[in-house]
Amino acid sequence: MTACCDPAEYDDVFTSKYARRLAKSLRSSGLDDTATKMADFATAQGLDGATVLEIGGGVGGLHMELLRRGASQATNIELSTAYEGEAARLLAESGLADRVSRRNADVVADPSVAPAADVVVLHRVVCCYPDFPALLGLAADRARRALVFSYPRPRLLTRTETVMENLGYAVRRRTFRTFVHSPDAMLAVLAEHGHTPLDGGQNLRWQYSGTVRTGAEGP
Ligand SMILES: C[S@@+](CC[C@H](N)C(=O)[O-])C[C@H]1O[C@@H](n2cnc3c(N)ncnc32)[C@H](O)[C@@H]1O
């Protein structure tokens, strides 16, 4: 499997308009339901003073919430550069700017950008990346204590939506694709990297799994 399609396309797919929509929704309604449950899972693992690594965190609502709940510091690694303006505004408004480090990179192509952290989070990210074993393997290796990630439920609704979305990308001659990866296969990758599932949940479209480290720490 390739590491990625054309990384430059992430800026075309996840645009500043998309970032504005996410920031507006965050200001008016807070975190979405799945992200809130992911934050609850992370909190239950003990957030006081914890460090957080978020991969593909967009405008940053989830790691900002973890900081409000007691985490000490967060790093966000994001492929698209289009979020940075909105993220900076949200950080300034929240007073959390000095506790967040943001970097633009494909974390699989350049793993050196991602520090180890007590808690690693990926919300709606594995579905935007073809090589989930590489992405989740790296995320698990970085997670000293716990990891929580969300993904589309593997059902007719999400599979149909994915096919339609990908048709749209193909028509526009983009190589970017979205994916409904197998939950069992994703959890198997995490198990290979020392993580055991502890909790999870789902709604109509999205599912999340929270795991804890039970094996040796990654490289
Ligand atoms: C659907 S958006 C979700 C953004 C945010 N987590 C949220 O839920 O609002 C998926 C994000 O994952 C990022 N992403 C996907 N693969 C990545 C990788 N290998 N490294 C860094 N970011 C990645 C994309 O750039 C995109 O912004």
2 pLDDT more than 90: no
194 φ, ψ to 5°? 90, 15
Average pLDDT over residues 126-133: 97
The answer to whether 205 touches 152, Cβ cutoff 8 Å, is yes
The answer to whether 159 touches 212, Cβ cutoff 8 Å, is no
Q: What is the pLDDT of residue 3?
A: 52
Q: Is residue 136 part of a domain?
A: yes
CA distances from 57 to 37, 120, 121, 163, 193 (A): 16, 11, 8, 24, 22
Q: Is residue 169 part of a domain?
A: yes
Q: Is residue 219 part of a domain?
A: no
**Is the C-beta atom of 127 inside 6 A of ligand 1?**
no
Q: Whose structure tokens read 């055991």?
A: 196
**Is the C-beta atom of 208 inside 6 A of ligand 1?**
no
The answer to whether 37 touches 207, Cβ cutoff 8 Å, is no
**Is the C-beta atom of 13 inside 6 A of ligand 1?**
no
Q: Is residue 48 part of a domain?
A: yes
What gap in Å lies between CA 138 and CA 108, rounded to an integer?
7
What tens digit of pLDDT does each residue of 174-191 get?
A: 999 999 999 999 999 999
Ligand 1 centre to CA of 106 (Å) is 9
Q: Which of 188, 160, 136, 143 is nearest to 1 (CA)?
A: 136
Q: What CATH number did the domain enclosing 48 receive?
A: 3.40.50.150
Q: What is the pLDDT of residue 7?
A: 79
Measured N-to-C along each axis, helices 84-94 and 61-68 cross at an angle, to the nearest 10 degrees, of: 20
Ligand 1 centre to CA of 95 (Å) is 24
Closest-CA residue, ligand 1 atom 7, reads 58
Residue from 79, 177, 206 to probe ligand 1 pocket by mutation (most atoms less than 8 Å from CB): 79
Ligand 1 centre to CA of 79 (Å) is 7
Q: What is the pLDDT of residue 1?
A: 39
Q: Is residue 96 part of a domain?
A: yes
Q: Is residue 1 part of a domain?
A: no
If one counts the domains in the chain, the total is: 1
Q: Is residue 98 part of a domain?
A: yes
Q: Whose structure tokens read 């480290």?
A: 213
Closest-CA residue, ligand 1 atom 23, reads 56
Ligand 1 centre to CA of 56 (Å) is 3
Q: What is the pLDDT of residue 184?
A: 98
β-strands 117-122, 143-152 pairing: parallel
What gap in Å lies between CA 195 and CA 119, rounded to an integer?
12
Which domain covers residue 171, as residue numbers? 9-213
Q: Is residue 49 part of a domain?
A: yes
